[in-house]
Structure 1
């Protein structure tokens, strides 16, 4: 009997096997490109997509930035209220990482000549002020602002764990990560210092995330951000100086980790799956559709599998975007 009791105790002490689960990734929507008259239809398409996302019953969803088109004004009504209204349609947890259209590019005349830093402060106050996600059923998140005393100003950088997989978001938007051009005129106060400070915070958060995954013996890591870091590799043009640090750090972190790493991003608006870093072949990249292709990616995760990620698309199929530059 004593031997049986010891055997039962040892079995109870074993960690539970990680269970398969699914989550959803999407971004770059709604894009009201032609003006206010087409916006109700575009928002309705996104709302229809949220119904399909809810029907898929994911453990959580991740929105990869750009809650509006670049030619829409960066007003409170658009970047805050309209976004919050459809975010709140997600039945489960929703994690959001910002894109360039809702703050970085707001200085442009077509976006209303807003101060990007003032817009970013509003986004942080509205969507990142609590240690939980968005959505109707918020889940607990670890935020860089709470864990890293040297980088308290970056609550949008978050981390969480599910079934032995570590997830983290990095605030890396398009438009070259908001890196100002040399001697760029007309920058608002503080704008030139924004990129290097946030870039340093992102690199620190990336390193901390992989360290946490290693310590927890995670089976895989998922990194979510907005920018297409490899646009120039594919298209032979575009500015990349603001993304080089992130690319290099991610490839090196993945190489050291040695287990599957998934990078999720938006920005270029079509479905793409590849391995973009020859030095880290365990790094798999998925770009989600977006403007002109209102679909989301369902990621099926089997933490115990050698290839833990499988992908499928949900949403309306009447408009799909082919690969392009």
Structure 2
């Protein structure tokens, strides 16, 4: 039934006037076990949700092994709701080899092969999604997916919280630079689709908070490494300025001093920190902000990156 509510290009006669969806936080070091994650999936299954987005599948303290990936994939497949996976830094870009070297490229490739090869969500209630990998130029970027329900377009975008996986070592940023180009194209396509179809809202799911500007008040902060979110922040800001509807960024990146309690709006652009549990939002066209948080984020035990 839920799958019939989803559309890519043609209007559907019986669009839902209001519906709810869930977002599961990425595992932190204090809750890193399969039982916690399974409990979150079961709690969302018990609710009436159009879909669920899982913000990552593992904690940074867990191994980046195929075996763990396979176990978490099986749990996604057993869910009753349609579940879409949004990648986090702990899934791939924070991964290292037994020698302590980065395994980010290898693990990202493995995640893509295991989790993003078809055009549907996980779970019993299959949600059809359109992946960026259908564009030949960006055939590797299957993790970037979009779908529509009602008057809103939803999209995942691979923006890890560890400064968008910008590497300070010279000559080692080809992954970052290539993904930056892909993400720019993806955001433009999402914006174009929402504008062309006159949708009321855009929701972006990612790990890092691209709207969070770095602290440059101190001497050492001014000399810090490049802001890996700068280009994406600028693009999302420009997108929101041109878009008549609401743009909401749902992310998993906290800071040592702030944890979002509800949506932080700046005109029509909002951001929401998932916290360390799961949250529920309702899309309601009768609400001036379009989005209502029904289940508030639980404060993160540990700040993310």
Q: TM-score range by the shorter chain?
A: 0.7 to 0.9
Q: How many residues of Structure 1 are paired with residues of Structure 2 in the alignment? A: 286
- The match for 2:76 is 87
- The match for 2:269 is 283
* Whole-angstrom CA distance in 2 between matches of 1:264 and 1:235: 24
- The match for 1:205 is 186
* Whole-angstrom CA distance in 2 between matches of 1:98 and 1:239: 23
Is 1:241 aligned to residue 241 of structure 2? no
Describe the SS at the equivalent of 2:46: helix
Structure 1 residue 232 displacement after superposition: 4.9
- CA 1:93 to 1:211, structure 2 compared with 1: closer, same or farther past 3 Å? same
1:167 equivalent among 149, 154, 161: 154
- The match for 1:144 is 132
Do the aligned residues in 2 keep the contact of 1:232 with 1:240 (CA within 8 Å)? Answer: no
Is 1:154 aligned to residue 144 of structure 2? no
* Whole-angstrom CA distance in 2 between matches of 1:224 and 1:100: 13
- CA 1:322 to 1:61, structure 2 compared with 1: closer, same or farther past 3 Å? same
- CA 1:324 to 1:195, structure 2 compared with 1: closer, same or farther past 3 Å? closer
- The match for 1:223 is 204
* Whole-angstrom CA distance in 2 between matches of 1:324 and 1:180: 21
* Whole-angstrom CA distance in 1 between matches of 2:198 and 2:151: 8
Do the aligned residues in 1 keep the contact of 2:254 with 2:300 (CA within 8 Å)? Answer: no
Do the aligned residues in 2 keep the contact of 1:18 with 1:303 (CA within 8 Å)? Answer: no
Do the aligned residues in 2 keep the contact of 1:271 with 1:323 (CA within 8 Å)? Answer: no
TM-score, with length taken from structure 1: 0.78
- The match for 1:8 is none
- The match for 2:176 is 195
* Whole-angstrom CA distance in 2 between matches of 1:169 and 1:324: 22
Do the aligned residues in 2 keep the contact of 1:141 with 1:160 (CA within 8 Å)? Answer: yes
Is 1:102 aligned to residue 91 of structure 2? yes
Is 1:51 aligned to residue 39 of structure 2? no
Unaligned runs of 5+ in 1: 1-12, 185-190
- The match for 2:123 is 135
Describe the SS at the equivalent of 1:160: strand
* Whole-angstrom CA distance in 1 between matches of 2:118 and 2:187: 21
Do the aligned residues in 1 keep the contact of 2:168 with 2:225 (CA within 8 Å)? Answer: no
* Whole-angstrom CA distance in 1 between matches of 2:91 and 2:12: 47
What CA deviation, in whole Å up to 9, does each residue of 1:39-90 have, x standing for no partner? 5xx322222222211111210001122x222232211122x12321332342
TM-score, with length taken from structure 2: 0.83
- CA 1:127 to 1:14, structure 2 compared with 1: closer, same or farther past 3 Å? closer
- CA 1:213 to 1:231, structure 2 compared with 1: closer, same or farther past 3 Å? closer
RMSD across aligned C-alpha pairs, in angstroms?
2.9
- The match for 1:3 is none
Do the aligned residues in 2 keep the contact of 1:229 with 1:247 (CA within 8 Å)? Answer: yes
Unaligned runs of 5+ in 2: 1-10
What CA deviation, in whole Å up to 9, does each residue of 1:174-233 have, x standing for no partner? 11111111427xxxxxx5311111111001100110100111110111111111234555
Structure 1 residue 313 displacement after superposition: 2.3
Structure 1 residue 297 displacement after superposition: 0.8
What CA deviation, in whole Å up to 9, does each residue of 1:262-283 have, x standing for no partner? 111113285443446x5xx201
Looking at CA atoms only, which structure, 1 or 2, has the larger radius of gyration? 1
- The match for 2:6 is none
Is 1:116 aligned to residue 104 of structure 2? yes
* Whole-angstrom CA distance in 1 between matches of 2:88 and 2:15: 36
